[in-house]
Chain A
Amino acid sequence: MKNLFKLPEGPGLQENQSYYRSLNRKMVTLMIVVSLLPLIVVSGVVGYQFQASYQEKVYVHLEELVQKHTQNIDNFLHEKLNDIRVVANSYSFEELTNETFFQHLLTILQKEHGGVFVDMGIVHQSGRQAAYTGVFKLEGADYSNADWFKQAMKTQYYISDVFLGLRGFPHFIVAVKRVWQGEPYIVRATIDFVAFNSLVEHIQIGRTGSAFIMNRQGKFQTRPKTSIKINNETFADQINKMFAETKSGGSQAELPALPGNDTPPQSLRPRPAIQSEVTISEIVDEENHSQIVVMTPLKDGEWILVFLQEKADAFSQFYRTRNVAVILLLLGAIGIVITSFAVSRLLVSRIARSDAEKKVMNQQIIETGKLASLGELAAGIAHEINNPVAIMVEEAGWIGDLLEEDNFKDRENYLECQRALKQIQTQGGRCKQITHKLLSFARKTDPSAAEVNLNDLIREVVSLSEQRAKYANVQMETHLSLEIPPVRLSPSEMQQVLLNLINNAIDAMGKGGGRLGVADWMEDGYLVIEVSDTGPGIPEANLPRIFDPFFTTKPVGEGTGLGLSICYGIIKKMNGEFRVRSAIGQGTTFQVWVPVAGQKPRPGEKDETERQKDIQV
């Protein structure tokens, strides 16, 4: 029918709502912080550790790879150099300048190395080519101004940078110095750029990883597979630094120029990979991609093998794992947030409800306390009044006694005096009745049930209200059924309910007065008590709220809005119910339905909808 403990509406409501809102906020914040903070901290730490170890793994892997390839390239170069050394040292000048023999040698070398050697030549210290074999017509070519020639003349062995040269085709030269007939000659061979390039090109890791070789001047010695978009000073600095740290061709310069010495120079022996020679760094290219740069010196520090890979590519697996973890973390966080909101909303609504219940209860306690103190006051007054009334009655009785004496009996006004005394006695008795009713009613509301004759109880309450009704111009009518069995209920509580209904009815009719009917009867195992008035009726909008605590239509200070609410609680406790019928301008009828003691209430008999129908306007 209604919720007795609805959040009370009133001036405090706004404050309450903002209080509960802030409580809600605090709880949500606390719950989110407490649950998310450790999650974030743990994820952060674990993520950082994982990233660090993954990076280390990737770097070690790249380093090993680059070292391996560096060794391969170095070996390739040394192998070719050794071949030329063998050629230079094994044959005499005459043999080598023999065109057919020289060509035969080239053919053998080409066969052995799959066309790596393009051509071979012997160059006199003046720069003139003394012998040549190969596809180009370079017999008698003059190399006196060629860089490689100048360099080669300075050392015993030489491998040049890649250059275009006379043939206009990228290539590089492997040269060995040899002294024949007291004159130094250079035996040189051209290495095919394509073959060498493919050696480097094969170094490919992932989607973007590629390698190339640069010389000291920053010229590419191999073709970078992808166009290098790094125009970055840091990169250049790094390369310069790399060169600065590696001594350039020093080992070659220090070699003793011993003709016919078969011992290869130290630097040309296969070397163990030296870990520290590899440097790994990160730079940002022009397209704002982070690139991992792995560099290691080659060819005794004259070249640098550079390996580039986009960081996103190198770490793709890590990023995938990280993204999955982040998505899971986010989902978890969203779950936590939603749960926090839901839980705190639930808790706050429970708190609000229990607060409202507490408030109603407090009001009830105050009301009961007021009634109790009123009761004590009434009891005191009753006692104080009874004593003087008793004296008055006794004195009147004494006068009566004296009048009985013979000498008064004949007097003219004897009868009139006796009537007056009788009246005093009667009115004294009335005073006593009034004070006794007051005492019995004012006694503390006692919830203990007792067998009650309901008709007597109604009569008592009605007689208490009669005086008030008279002044309010209200005519009271009672229609009490003779079939009412004794009922087991708390008489003082029932008195309170009835008095409240009657007082409300009298108040409702206002100064104009009207008729107030009190009736009772038995129906379907229920005891029905009806209080009806001919007042203005209750507006439809107010009907569903009349039992709400603090709902009142009386002016401020006159009604607490608790009367009907308390009555509702009392009747509910008796397993009973209220039914209200009201018509504007015609009046209102309140019915209290209480199951008769010993009989179970039959709530099925009249369900909610039917009860609602009873509330008609």
Chain B
Amino acid sequence: MSAASVLLVDDERDFVSAMTKRLTKRDLEVSNAFDGLEALEALSKDDRIEVVILDVKMPGMSGVETLREIKRRYPLVEVIMLTGYATIETAIEGMKLGAYDYLIKPCEMDELLGKVGEALEKRRKHQNKILEARTREVIQRRET
């Protein structure tokens, strides 16, 4: 399995830089964005990004809005919400919009890695299923 590509979105630059170092050290390919628009731009440029770690409270486009947009444009990309400001409403909203999970800062590295791994696995399974279905389609078309 190739190195997973993760996009880290947070307006706290110090947090992003520390987290990026730590995730990179754990063999993840990490790219950064500091608000929602940047995140969408990064996704449009790099189609290898599989998981997005997304802050909820950001200036401009909020985490929830960003999540909605990501899920609309790139349904296969898994999103993990990570926030210091946890409310039940945003958590429920996030889960409804298709976030993979909802984590609260400060978060244990192992927990985060676990979630990323699970999300990655889910995405890859999903991707494989689609691939299989398409392949089957192609094979069936050839046979007929």
Contact = CB atoms under 8 A, between A and B. Distances in A.
Nearest to B15: A391
B104 A401 contact: no
Interface string B104-144: 11111100000000000000000000000000000000000
Given A432-B106, A436-B104, A391 B84 contact: no
A566 interface: no
A312 interface: no
A497 interface: no
Interface stretch (B18-26, B30-38, B65-73): B18-26
A398 B15 CA distance: 11
Given A379-B85, A436-B86, A439-B86, A390 B15 contact: yes
A386 B56 CA distance: 13
A561 interface: no
Contacts of B21: 398, 401
B84 A386 contact: yes
A387 interface: yes
B105 A390 contact: yes
Interface string A385-403: 1110111111101100100
B45 to A, nearest CB: 26
Interface residues on A, range: 20 to 34
A4 interface: no
B14 interface: yes
A354 B90 CA distance: 41
A452 interface: no
A395 B12 contact: no
A2 to B, nearest CB: 37
A389 B106 contact: yes
Contacts of A401: 21-22, 25
B86 A387 contact: no
A382 interface: yes
B85 A390 contact: no
B81 to A, nearest CB: 14
B85 A428 contact: no
Nearest to A401: B25
Contacts of A392: 106
B90 to A, nearest CB: 11
A379 B22 CA distance: 29
B18 A397 contact: yes
Contact of A382 (B15, B85, B108): B85
B85 A383 contact: yes
A455 to B, nearest CB: 22
Nearest to B25: A401
Given A379-B85, A439-B86, A387 B105 contact: yes
A429 interface: yes
Contact of B22 (A385, A397, A431): A397
Interface in B5-22: 12, 14-15, 18-19, 21-22
Nearest to A395: B18
Contacts of B84: 382-387, 389-390
Contacts of A379: 85, 87
B18 A387 contact: no
25 contacts: A379-B85, A382-B84, A383-B57, A383-B84, A385-B84, A386-B85, A386-B104, A386-B106, A387-B84, A389-B105, A389-B106, A390-B105, A390-B106, A391-B12, A391-B15, A394-B106, A395-B14, A397-B18, A397-B109, A398-B21, A428-B106, A429-B108, A431-B106, A432-B105, A439-B87
Closest 3 CB pairs of A and B: A386-B84, A390-B105, A383-B85
Given A383-B84, A391-B12, 18 more contacts: A386-B85, A386-B104, A387-B105, A389-B105, A390-B15, A390-B84, A392-B106, A393-B106, A394-B18, A394-B19, A397-B109, A401-B22, A425-B108, A428-B106, A429-B106, A431-B106, A439-B86, A439-B87
